[in-house]
Amino acid sequence: MLNKKVKSIILAAGKGTRMKSDLPKVLHCIFNKPLLGYVLDAVNNTGSIDENFVIVGHEADKVEDYVVKNYENTKCVLQTPQLGTGDAVNKAAPLLNDFNGYVIVLCGDTPLISSQTINNFIEFHDNNHADLTVMSAIFENPKNYGRIIRDKNNKFIAIVEEKDANPQQKAVKEINAGIYCINWRTVRDSFNSLQNNNAQGEYYLTDIVKWAVEKNLNVQSYILENNEEIFGINSKLHLAEATKILNKKSLIRLMENGVQITDIDSTFISPETVIGADTIILPNVYITGKNTIGKNCKIGPFAHIRDGAKIGNNVRIGNFVEIKKSEIKDNTNVSHLSYIGDSELGSHVNIGAGTITANYNPISKVKSKTIIKDGANTGSNSVLVAPVTINEMASIGAGSVITKDVEAYSLAITRSPLKIFSQWVRKKIEQYSGGSK
């Protein structure tokens, strides 16, 4: 058990030029969740880190807005201009003047990092009584990474960026993973001595290693077991690759817990989604956000479940159905071509094909709720205009637009009377053909 408090500094000030986007790099999403969110969640889920500092710069207001709305234990610190990673960490130093513990430094564009790895890293640092520990990894092709440099006795002495490395240093396969654990009280002074005499004219965070070695401090490196976890996002291609990696892990976890996934190549399910055993996921299903799906359900094909869905047991979500921020209780069917948003569906409800819960008022910008109670059913092509309640065992006639509550065991129909115009088509044909068929 740690005797020290731990805080994190997350670097999120960069523009991300290679993303070719007006959106800050760390706000690009995987499963509708920003990259920065994955890093913050990984840090918070360690159980050992109580406060985070996010270094913001490019489009700082947008990044800070996301952080403030979603993370109570996190403060944003502005870095302007952006003068390198060492300068970025130094911006948080005034907020840590009296802190006597460990500071973890991470990058905000590494969405695959896990809480377990962060905890293992902190424990390694603590067990070795280190002043500074750098996470490293072994790559057969280490291009574009800073190299871990050791002396003839294999002692870790420096990190050299590739653009500053000589040919011998470039041949090194152990690279800097960009994650640091710092004994803050003993290493914080290093940030005041950083120099920018390098190819980029920046203050490198990596130079604190050299400083610590010169001070005869205990400097360690922790070799990462799974290199995928430090995959950094620098382009839209990287974003797609990370999505596949994250998705594969999610699908494997679900299948190991008893979920049947018919086609892993066409199925995408967010890591926050929990699914019960013996549920079948058919091809081309896309599930984003945080959702719970019960046991013995059947989802898809071509179904889309968005954030905030709570689906019970023995539920059928069929083809071309979209579910958003809705609760669906046991033994209910939403079989095809329907949209269920901001709704509560009871048990043994049957939703006919093409049913829409009209939950959004574009003038007031307000979203309202639809409630469909136990045993109720809707006919095909129904529109339920929220706020509205369909009570127990009520039935909605096909083609109806429902704007008022429907009492229990009632039938509601807004269908116009059927009119048949005899021989109408024949008369039109004769009209346009000059009287002949």
Residues with catalytic function: 336
Q: Which helix (H) or strand (E) holds 85?
A: helix 85-92
Q: Which helix (H) or strand (E) holds 389?
A: strand 388-390
**Backbone φ and ψ of 286, nearest 5°:** -130, 115
Using DSSP's 3-state secondary structure scheme, residue 344 falls into strand
Please give the distance of CA 165 from its chain centroid, rounded to a whole number: 35
Query: What tokens appear for 285 in the block?
Result: 């299903």
Q: How far apart are CA 34 and CA 18, in angstroms?
A: 17
Q: Do the Cβ atoms of 353 and 321 come closer than 8 Å?
A: no
The identity of residue 274, as a single letter, is V
Convert 314-353 to b/e letters by CB count within 10 Å (16 or more is b): bbbbbebbbbbbbbbbbbbbbbbbbbbbbbbbbbbbbbbb
Query: What tokens appear for 53 in the block?
Result: 């500092």
Please give the distance of CA 397 from its chain centroid, rounded to a whole number: 40
Q: How far apart are CA 269 and CA 290, in angstroms?
A: 10
Q: Which helix (H) or strand (E) holds 298?
A: strand 298-299
**Which DSSP state fits 57?**
B
**Terminal Cα distance for the chain, rounded:** 92
